């Protein structure tokens, strides 16, 4: 068979696909519309618009609605259509080490249901990857049941994991096996299309949707620091999804645990201070294995000198990281995000004061996220919605 005939042979199918794509993109951007409305925006002919609308109506993606008007106009009223927002589900998941959170939205982004549960199995426990996969699957089954979506298909599930993610959706074998456990091939375990990405990448996507900016970093706090990076308006992934990994901090900061996040730093530096003889009645009363960053922040707010010094050290650590990101990548804004972001204000005061001492101008703006613990799941939903708006036929897939 001559390959020269293939483009001509497939052109009607390609044209039909392009027309469907254009009409769906328009329907996703607007409310109720007529053929004339769609013609003006898409540039398609009336016959093409009517044909594609009938096609999409038959496929279940468009609904025909009652025509506008008071009945005084002569002639047959124009048919009007709108997107069937309830025809499919988009799901965002934050698959953290200790907590799973998920949210289901319709095709307009309206929330239908959410679920949160604790991860009981440890990273080093036998069968941890399989158990984690099953727990995520069970969580999403409950989420779908609660969504009230009936027979609506889960079209796209976006999952954030605390690990770098390569183009194949898998994580490299690093961090002593931690990464593969955090990302146990969820794409092969869940229904519908699945997109897995690093949690900090989804966090910066959420922040970018909220505040904009061409050169933005989100520093996701927790047990470890991770950075999501938008440079020149584009999300950076890097080889094997490694952009934003902070392992280099071990060397730069001359600290074998330089990438420890706020939660780990607060525990470590508080425990070290107390073991060295510092006095803190409030913190000494808490067993070391139960001490949390919230405890340290509360003590600092009450005037505890040990806790306040720990907060100052965390602020200096954040300043050094922000200075590195600004110098290396030209980042203009660093958003500090995570569940504790609402209480991070005093730390950022110290970080801003420390910036001129630990780095060179121009200094990035340091701000706290307003999205709290929802930042990753919000970014996952935003990613799913962007995929739908940019390429609806790819998201609809076999269901379209």
Task: Compute the distance between CA of residue 88 and CA of residue 33 in angstroms, rounded to an integer.
Answer: 20
- Per the CB < 8 A criterion, the answer to whether 396 and 215 are in contact is no
Q: Exposed, middle or buried: residue 398 (CB in 10 Å: 0-12, 13-18, 19+)?
A: exposed
Side-chain-side CA neighbours of residue 232 (13 Å): 2
Same CATH topology for 86-208+376-399 and 211-372: the answer is yes
Q: What's the pLDDT at 104?
A: 97
Quote the pLDDT of residue 1. Answer: 30
Contact (CB, 8 A) for 246 and 259: yes
- Sort strands 99-105 and 88-95 into parallel, antiparallel or unpaired: antiparallel
Work out the end-to-end distance of the chain between its first and last CA atoms, rounded to an integer number of angstroms. 30
Residue 191: predicted pLDDT: 82
CATH of domain 86-208+376-399: 3.30.420.40
Tell me which fold the domain 3-83 belongs to.
Answer: Arc Repressor Mutant, subunit A (1.10.10)
Closest CA to 266 of 221, 320, 228, 230: 221
Q: Where are the domains of the chain?
A: 3-83, 86-208+376-399, 211-372
Q: Which residue has the tokens 């769906």?
A: 24
**Can you give the pLDDT at residue 68?**
63
pLDDT in tens for each of the 400 residues of the chain?
333 344 444 588 889 999 999 999 999 999 999 999 999 999 999 999 999 999 999 999 999 998 765 555 555 678 899 999 999 999 999 999 999 999 999 999 999 999 999 998 888 899 999 999 999 999 999 999 999 877 788 899 999 999 999 999 999 987 778 999 999 988 888 888 999 999 999 999 999 999 999 999 999 988 889 999 999 999 999 999 999 999 899 989 888 888 899 999 999 999 999 999 999 999 999 999 999 999 999 999 999 999 999 999 999 999 999 999 999 999 999 999 998 899 999 999 999 999 999 999 999 999 999 999 999 999 999 999 999 999 999 998 645 4
Question: Which residue stretches of the chain are H helix?
Answer: 6-29, 35-42, 46-59, 128-147, 178-182, 199-211, 249-252, 262-275, 281-284, 293-301, 305-329, 345-358, 375-390, 392-396
Can you give the pLDDT at residue 9?
Answer: 43
Task: Place domain 211-372 in its CATH homologous superfamily.
Answer: ATPase, nucleotide binding domain (3.30.420.40)
Question: Would you say the pTM of this structure is higher than 0.85?
Answer: yes
């Amino acid at each position: 068979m001559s390959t020269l005939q293939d483009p001509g042979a497939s052109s009607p199918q390609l044209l039909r696909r392009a027309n469907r794509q254009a009409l769906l993109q328009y329907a996703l951007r607007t409310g109720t519309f007529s053929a004339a409305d769609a013609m003006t925006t898409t540039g398609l002919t009336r016959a093409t618009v009517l044909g594609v609308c009938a096609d999409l109506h038959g496929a279940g993606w468009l609904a025909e609605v009652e025509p506008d008007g008071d009945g005084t106009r002569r002639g047959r009223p124009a048919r009007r259509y709108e997107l069937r927002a309830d025809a499919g589900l988009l799901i965002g998941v934050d698959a953290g080490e200790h907590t799973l959170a998920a949210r289901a939205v319709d095709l307009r982004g309206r929330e239908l249901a959410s679920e949160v549960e604790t991860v009981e199995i440890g990273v080093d426990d036998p069968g941890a990857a399989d158990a984690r996969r099953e727990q995520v699957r069970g969580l999403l089954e409950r989420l779908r049941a609660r969504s009230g979506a009936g027979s609506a298909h889960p079209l796209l599930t976006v999952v954030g994991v605390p690990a770098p993610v390569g183009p194949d959706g898998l994580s490299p074998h690093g961090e002593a096996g931690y990464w593969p456990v955090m990302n146990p091939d969820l794409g092969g375990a869940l229904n519908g299309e699945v997109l897995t990405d690093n949690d900090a990448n989804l966090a910066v996507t959420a922040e970018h949707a909220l505040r904009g900016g061409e050169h933005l970093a989100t520093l996701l706090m927790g047990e470890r620091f991770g950075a999501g990076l938008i440079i020149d308006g584009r999300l950076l992934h890097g080889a094997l999804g490694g952009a934003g990994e902070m392992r280099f901090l071990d060397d730069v900061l001359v600290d074998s645990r330089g990438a420890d996040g706020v939660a780990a730093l607060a525990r470590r530096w508080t425990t070290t201070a107390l073991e060295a003889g510092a006095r803190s009645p409030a913190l000494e009363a808490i067993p070391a294995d139960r001490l949390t960053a919230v405890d340290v922040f509360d003590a600092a707010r009450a005037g505890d000198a040990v806790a306040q010094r720990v907060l100052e050290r965390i602020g200096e650590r954040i300043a050094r990281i922000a200075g590195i990101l600004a110098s290396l990548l030209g980042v203009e804004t660093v958003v500090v995000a995570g569940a504790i972001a609402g209480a991070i204000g005093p730390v950022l005061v110290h970080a801003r004061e420390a910036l001129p001492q630990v780095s060179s101008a121009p200094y990035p703006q340091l701000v706290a996220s307003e999205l709290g613990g929802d930042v990753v799941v919000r970014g996952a939903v935003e990613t799913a919605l962007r995929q739908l708006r940019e390429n609806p036929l790819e998201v609809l897939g076999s269901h379209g």
